[in-house]
Structure formats: C-alpha cells, structure tokens
Structure 1
Amino acid sequence: MYVANRWNDYELLDTGGGEKLERWGSYVLRRPDPQIIWPLTAETANWKQAEGHYRRSSSGGGNWDFRQNLPERWTISYDNKLRFHIKPTGFKHTGLFPEQAANWDWMMDKISNAGRPIKVLNLFAYTGGATVACAHAGASVVHVDASKGVVQWAKENLELSGLADRHVRFITDDVFKFVQREQRRGNKYDAIIMDPPSYGRGPNGETWKLEDDLYPFIETCMTILSDNPLFLLVNSYTTGISSTVLKNILTLAMHKRYGGHITAGEIGLPITASELTLPCGILGRWEA
C-alpha cells in the first residue's frame, strides 16, 4: 500500500462505526466513509466536539452540522510547500484528498530528476493537488476539468502555493473531447495524470462507465504522449475495481509499446488512534 504519512496539517485521528475523524489544520471534521465497517471503540470528546459533522440522510445525500467557530474555508499546507483551500462541500468532501500526497511525492521526484523540461496533462483534475505538485517540481501543466467552480479553486490553490508565475493552463472542458482535440492538433505530453469517475454524463448526453471506457480512453491518451514519456498515473475510487485490474490495463496498453515499469496498489492514510491504515482508493503507475 502507498501510504500518505508525511502530513503535518492533516491527520486521520480515529475511525469506527462508518465514520472517520480528521484534523484539517486547526479544525476537526467528522465524516462518513464506506470502508470503515469496524466498530468505534469509544466516542471520545474529540468525536463529540468536532467543528463539523456530516450526517447521512436516510433518503440519500446528507448535510453538515457546524459549530460556530468553523470558518467558511481555511488553508492547510503539505510539506510547507503546497497550499490548499479547505471547504466542506455539500457532498461531504473538503476539496482535497489527502491520501494523494503519496502520489504528489512520487510525481515531484520523477519530474525533479528528469533532467529535462516536462509537460504534464492533468485530466479530471479537480482542485489541482497534482497540478500544484507538478508545477512546484518545475513542470509545465495543462489542467482540465469540466467543472468551472473546481477549476477556479485549483487556480487559487496554485496562487496560495506561490506558483502563479509557473506555466500552467487551466481549461474548463469535457476531458474526452479535449484529448481528442489535442490528438488532432498534434500536441504531446511527457506525463499524463487521470482520476476518472465511475460514471459520468457529458453535456450532449455522452455516457462514461469506467469498466467499459477506461481502456480505450488510455489508448487514446497514448496518442498524445511524447516519444520519450516520463509517466502515466491512473487513480480510481471505483468500488469493485482492484489495483491488479489497473496494472493489467497499463501492462497491455503501455508496456508493449514503451517498456518501462508498472506498479499498482492501494493508497491509504495512517490512523493515529489505532495505528491501522485506512484504504482510500487504488492507483496504477507506468514509468519510463
């Protein structure tokens, strides 16, 4: 498992009873997590005094209960270099997936040691954790997401990190159509990052289902890789898909053409109270 264990401003304090207790900077949030099927040992004061508690609704969705001293949003940093706005959203998320720090470290190392300029394409890029990390390491980045709001959030994260002068293009667009246009334009990238959803629907009724469409999408992305690619990273939070599936896909799609090295596995966070690890998703990495 790839564990994001170098955080100072984030901490997974405790888990149990279908919920996790997290410290985001100075504030503690309590949120549901479907992976946590073990019981809560004790509902301590930390649990009861969390500044924010997201409660599931029996009819679907849910809502936050906030204590008065929780700001609308605040800032945390990773490794005193990357900075992000945190804001509890209506879908229980905060705008950041802290387990992805394990990938940020890997990408920054690959880019910093490449010995050449690296051009990165970040697809389904959300609020730009990977974008900020790659820009910090010196890469030029094209950041693509279909949501105007999260693209603006990503721009703010780049500025918070003191990287506004870096070569980063933010694009609000359908990811699949963008890749097809880049293919027609002949644009190439040295590294591609993607975090595709389980299901999706485009503006004209196009449908996406990860199980059916991931492999052909990766094959399409291969057409816009440079002749000397550095890496390709696939993240997934789709239940029922194992990391071995990602490894098999990358082996079939990438290894035959480029050689290189493929790794895959779970990605997770250490739990302070129990010294266990919470699995949070899976990844597949191809690297030259």
Structure 2
Amino acid sequence: MFAAQDWQDYELIDTGGGEKLERWGTIVLRRPDPQIIWPLVKDSGAWRSADAHYHRSSSGGGSWEYKKELPERWTVTYKGLSFYIKPTGFKHTGLFPEQAVNWSWMMDKIRGAGRPIRVLNLFAYTGGATIACASAGAEVCHVDAAKGMVQWAKENVQLSELGERKVRFITDDVFKFVQREQRRGSKYDAIIMDPPSYGRGPNGETWKLETNLYPFVESCMSILTDKPLFFLINSYTTGISATVLHNILALSLGRSYGGSITCGEIGLPITASGLTLPCGILGRWEG
C-alpha cells in the first residue's frame, strides 16, 4: 500500500457507514465513498459539525447541504504545490489527495534524471501531476477532453507560480491526440495516464478500460523517446487489480525497454482509526 502520509492541508479524519469526513485546509467536508463498507465505530461530534455534506439522490447524482457559507473555492498546498478546491455537483473537489504519493515520486524521478524531460499527462483532470512535474523542471503537455477541467488546471499552474514553466494545455480526446502526435513524430520521456472505467467520445466512440487499456498503452509507446524515464498508470476501476497493471506493463514497456515495474494500492491514512482507506491502484514502469 502506498499511503499519502505527508499532507498538512488535507486530513482524512474518519470513515464509516459509506462516508468519509475530510479536512481540506480549514474546511471540513462529509462525502460518500463506495469503498467504505464498514460501520462508523464512534459517532464523534465532528461528523455533525461538518461544514458541508454531500447527499446522494435515490435517482442518481446528489447535492451539497451547506451548514455554513463557504467560499466559492479555496486553496490547499502540498510541498510547495498549490491547488484550488471547490465542491462540485458530482461530489468531487477537484483534487485526489491520495495522488500525492505519485507527485512526490515523479518529482524525484525528474529531478534525478540529469537531462531535460518532456512529460505527457493524459486524462489530466485539474493538473495535480502536471503541476508536480512542471515544478520539478519538466516540460509538460496536459491533455483532457473537458474544457472546464483544463481551465481549472491552468489556474492551478498560475496559483503554484509556475506560469513561466513550459506547460502546454490541450482540450481534446486523448486517443486522437496521441494518434496525431504519432503522425507528427513527437516524443516524450514520460507518460502519465489516469483513464476512466468507461467513456464515450464526441462521435460516439466508446472506451472500456478492460478492452482498450492494453492497446492504448502500446499506442502510447510509439511516442516515447529511446530512453524513457517513466510510465505511470492510475486506475480507480473496481475489479482491476495491481497484478493486472503489472502484467500490462511487463508485456508492453518491460518487453521493449527492460526497466523495473512497481504496482500496488494507493490510499489515505484515517486519523480516527489508524487504518488506511484504499483509493485505487497504480502501475509504475521506470527505465
């Protein structure tokens, strides 16, 4: 288990009954989490004093109940990186704090490379990995199909005072973008991807992780340099194990480049219980 231990501005206070209680800076949020299938051990007053509570709707989706007026958005920091936090209508906040384990790892890899590094961040969301890589000195290409998420990422880059770094923002279908980069002969030293379980493109194209992940990894290999630094896959898909990611990386990157592979669960430490909340899996290949 890779647990994000080094946060100051984020804390997973408690979990139970299908929900988690979190502190984002000074603001406490209460949200559902499908992994939390255990009961609440002790109902402390902290649960009842959360600043906002996301309630799921029986018809799908849900909404926030605000116990007090909150700012439209606020800032949290991690090791000098800054991010805007904002509760969204689909329960997310614009940041996955467990990914800090990957940010630290990527920053160390880039700083230790001893050469200029170009990074491609696919399904890049609000840019946590983009900011980490840029802060370490890499040139980054950030690609996501959602215009609003790309704008959010741009604002996070400015917030982290990285506006002078080489970061290219692309709003596009990641698969089509990779195909165009193949035709252009573009090359990257490192690739990051955080693909969804299922998706549908603008022209009806469908993506299913179990069917499309391996061929997409192979497609991405065609735009790697001769001496790639790393390749990172994150997955939140239930039923896909860390061993599956290991096998995919071994049969693709490992077979072509050698190197080493590390896979496992990622999670967040729970203050109240001392347990860890699982938050997905990672697969790392490094040259």
TM-score bin, normalised by smaller chain: over 0.9
CA–CA distance in 2 between the matches of 1:58 and 1:123? 33
CA–CA distance in 2 between the matches of 1:35 and 1:214? 23
1:86 — aligned with what?
Answer: 85
1:152 Cα deviation from its structure 2 partner:
0.3
Q: CA-to-partner distance for each residue in 1:30-89, whole Å, 9 max, x for gaps?
A: 00001111100222211001011001111111110012232111000002x100000000
2:229 — aligned with what?
Answer: 230
Number of residue pairs the alignment of both structures matches: 287
Runs of 4+ in 1 over 6 A off after TM superposition: none
2:208 — aligned with what?
Answer: 209
Say whether residues 1:36 and 2:32 are aligned partners. Answer: no
Report the TM-score, using the length of structure 2 for normalisation. Answer: 0.99
1:251 Cα deviation from its structure 2 partner:
0.3
Report the TM-score, using the length of structure 1 for normalisation. Answer: 0.99
1:215 Cα deviation from its structure 2 partner:
0.1
1:111 Cα deviation from its structure 2 partner:
0.1
| 5+ residue gaps, structure 1 | none
Q: CA-to-partner distance for each residue in 1:119-154, whole Å, 9 max, x for gaps?
A: 000000000000000000000000000000000000
Say whether residues 1:56 and 2:56 are aligned partners. Answer: yes
Check the 8 A contact 2:187/2:223 in 1, yes or no. yes
Say whether residues 1:110 and 2:118 are aligned partners. Answer: no
Q: CA-to-partner distance for each residue in 1:220-240, whole Å, 9 max, x for gaps?
A: 000000011000000000011
Identity, in percent, stands at 76
CA–CA distance in 1 between the matches of 2:280 and 2:145? 22
CA–CA distance in 2 between the matches of 1:112 and 1:262? 20
Check the 8 A contact 2:4/2:100 in 1, yes or no. yes
Say whether residues 1:121 and 2:120 are aligned partners. Answer: yes
Residue 20 of structure 1 aligns with an amino acid whose one-letter code is K
1:114 Cα deviation from its structure 2 partner:
0.2
1:261 — aligned with what?
Answer: 260
CA–CA distance in 1 between the matches of 2:144 and 2:61? 23
1:287 — aligned with what?
Answer: 286
Structure 1 vs Structure 2 CA RMSD: 0.6
Residue 149 of structure 1 aligns with an amino acid whose one-letter code is G
Q: How does 1:121-140 map to 2 (within 5 A)?
A: 121-140=120-139
CA–CA distance in 1 between the matches of 2:10 and 2:201? 34
CA–CA distance in 2 between the matches of 1:226 and 1:203? 30
CA–CA distance in 2 between the matches of 1:53 and 1:242? 31
1:25 — aligned with what?
Answer: 25
